[in-house]
Structure 1
Amino acid sequence: MPGFGQVLASGETLTDGLAVDVPETWHQGRTAYGGFSSALALAVAQQVGGDLPPPRSAQLAMIAPLHGRIEARAKVEREGRNATWISAEISGEKGLGFTASFVFVRPIESGLAIDDRPLPDHVIPPEDGVALSTERGATFLRHNFDVRFALPRTEERRPEISWWVRPREHEGLDPMVELLLCADALPPGVMPLLGPTVPVSTMHWQVNLLTTAPETRDGWWLLRSTGDYAHHGCSSQRMGLWNAEGLPMLAGMQSIAVFG
């Protein structure tokens, strides 16, 4: 069961990217797990970009299923004084399946400082969290992550999911790549309101990276997804990721298709 770093290391280097085989252990339904594709796109963007500042934002589009042999390619779109924009695409045997736009920004001196990303209420520390049984869960979770519940059990059904997630293999991974690899591990926030057989699919993911150097204790990241709107088969959700010390690392928003 190859970890993500092993997948990258065994890939074929292209002039503008990387070709890899998606192991079935990284599948989410009939496609590669969204965090896998997002992390691969970032790794390829870093590869073609050279000496880049830290990534600070990304726009990610899950267009079509990706599996088997895939090719990830990236291109520098603009290199400014402080920021560099890089686009990336991932294609499979049936064509384009994923696109990404990244912006890498050098730290800039500023008198503005806001931090309004508090932890969810009543968070259980990772060392005290109950392990989530992944035997019947998504394939990528079973094989690649440790998962623990982060909020107390409740009978109330609400559009919110919060877990502690830790990758089992992360040696040699760029910290930002690891962050994207983990950040999409939750089911959509509206899942507690749906039947277990209702299909869902992420369409777009907007990510803002809130740190230039992500780090955490014992590998644990706190993830939270909250559905705040759902009509006519489309759900919008807010997403957050904190380290084990409670510091915000990532903020996001996703558009989810709900087929039922």
Structure 2
Amino acid sequence: MTFADLLACAEESEDDFNVTVPEGWLQGRTAYGGFSAALALAAAMRMGGEGLPPLRSASVSFVGPASGEAEVRARVLRKGKNATWISAEITCGGACTLNATFVFMGPVNSAVHLNRQVPPAGLLVPEEGREFEPHPHMPVFLRCNFEVRFALPKAEGKSAEICWWVRLKDRAALDPMVEVLLVADALPPGILPLLTPATPVSSMTWIANLLTPAPITRDGWWLLRSSADYSERGCSSQHMGLWNADGEPVVSGMQSVAVFG
């Protein structure tokens, strides 16, 4: 089931909707993080109604495993002249599995123009990237819903960085902001190449700042990069970026990851 189909079939009430998490969107025993975050965003946008400004920032806490029947609820925290804050929560079996706050804000004039969000050097365009070959440790959600290509030439040795081209197999009828959030968490944690395949990892929090009010790309391809810069005592911190197919920055983020081993 595509994400758009899932939203279309959701059982809605005044301030929430209910869905069943499809097996094809699972990552181990829980829903893929981008799936859960996109569900919460869809609820927030529905609560905001017509005239809601573009999404500019998302702060997401992955509280617990999400699977089976899920209730997604949103409420407006504050609506100002130019910005609106909306919180959203997902519960499964009566337990909170995700809590998020979204900030929607219209564009304003600015005298400052700064862009340090540049793609990595040596980047391959999507058409040149080596296709990702399925393997036993590949998550179900990735195999079922995404096309993946390596964005950099194969390097010697291991580093705490992952960089891929990713696109949804079916993105029809999706709001661009929902699509971006659905895609933006598709990479494994940046620390993963330094771990053994059996080492469990789990995202705890994710902050994603939208750098454009209107995300758009070519042929559905998005460049994703995760780079871990710290890992001690079971906690890893990483920076994340997402660019469109022309190298324009779309999302800048940061994530905390639990490492169990």
TM-score by length of 2: 0.98
CA contact (8 A) 1:186 1:224 kept: yes
CA deviations 1:166-188 (Å, max 9, x no partner) are: 10111010000000000000000
Q: State how far apart, in whole Å, the 2-side matches of 1:45 and 1:11 are.
A: 15
Displacement, 1:17? 2.1
1:56 — aligned with what?
A: 56
Which aligned pairs between 1:10-29 and structure 2 lie closer than 5 A?
Answer: 10-29=9-28
Alignment of 1:190-205 (within 5 A): 190-205=191-206
State the AA in 2 paired with 1:145. F
- Residue equivalent to 1:131: 131
CA shift for structure 1 position 135: 4.2
Structure 2 Cα separation of the partners of residues 227 and 184 of structure 1: 14
- In structure 1, C-alpha distance between the alignment counterparts of 2:216 and 2:79, rounded to whole Å: 27
Give the whole-Å Cα distance in 1 for the aligned partners of 2:133 and 2:62: 27
Secondary structure at the counterpart of residue 6 of structure 2: helix
Matches within 5 A, 1:21-40: 21-40=20-39
Residue of structure 2 equivalent to 1:66? 66
Aligned length: 259
C-alpha distance in 2 between matches for 1:75 and 1:210: 24
Are the counterparts in 2 of residues 134 and 141 from structure 1 also a CA contact under 8 Å? no
1:1-260 alignment to 2 at 5 Å?
2-50=1-49, 51-136=51-136, 137-260=138-261
Tell me how far apart the structure 2 counterparts of residues 13 and 253 of structure 1 sit (CA, whole Å). Answer: 32
| Inter-partner Cα distance in structure 2 for 1:79 and 1:166 | 33
Secondary structure at the residue paired with 1:169? Answer: coil
CA distance in 2, matches of 1:111, 1:217: 29
Tell me the amino acid that sits aligned with residue 252 of structure 2. Answer: A
Residues 198 and 259, structure 1, Cα contact 8 Å, conserved in 2? yes
SS in 1 for 2:5: helix
Q: C-alpha displacement at 1:134, in angstroms?
A: 2.6
Unaligned runs of at least 5 residues, structure 2: none
Structure 1 counterpart SS, 2:127: helix
**TM-score, length-scaled by structure 1:** 0.98
Q: Is the Cα contact below 8 Å between 1:135 and 1:142 reproduced in 2?
A: no
C-alpha distance after superposition, 1:115-170 (max 9, x if no partner): 11111111111001111113430000000000000011012211000000010111
- The offset of 1:53, in angstroms, is 0.2
SS in 2 for 1:143: helix
Q: Distance in 1 between matches of 2:223 and 2:107?
A: 25
1:94 deviation in Å?
4.5
Structure 1 residue matching 2:228: 3-state secondary structure: strand
Higher mean alpha-carbon deviation, 88-97 vs 172-181, is at 88-97
Q: What is the aligned-residue RMSD (CA, Å)?
A: 0.7
Tell me how far apart the structure 1 counterparts of residues 157 and 253 of structure 2 sit (CA, whole Å): 25
CA distance in 2, matches of 1:7, 1:122: 38
AA in 2 matched with 1:255:
S
**Residue 36 of structure 2 aligns to a residue in which SS?**
helix
- For 1:97 and 1:43, the matched residues in 2 are separated by 16
Query: Structure 1, unaligned stretches of length 5 or more?
Result: none
SS at match of 1:181: helix
Contact 1:42 1:177 in 2 (8 A): yes
Q: Deviations over 1:92-135 (max 9, x none)?
A: 01411000000000111111111111111111110011111134
Output the CA distance in 2 between the equivalents of 1:3 and 1:258: 30
1:124, 1:150 within 8 Å by CA — same for their partners in 2? yes
For the Cα contact (< 8 Å) 1:89–1:99, is it kept in 2?
yes
Letter in 1 for 2:232: H
Q: Secondary structure at the match of 1:37?
A: helix
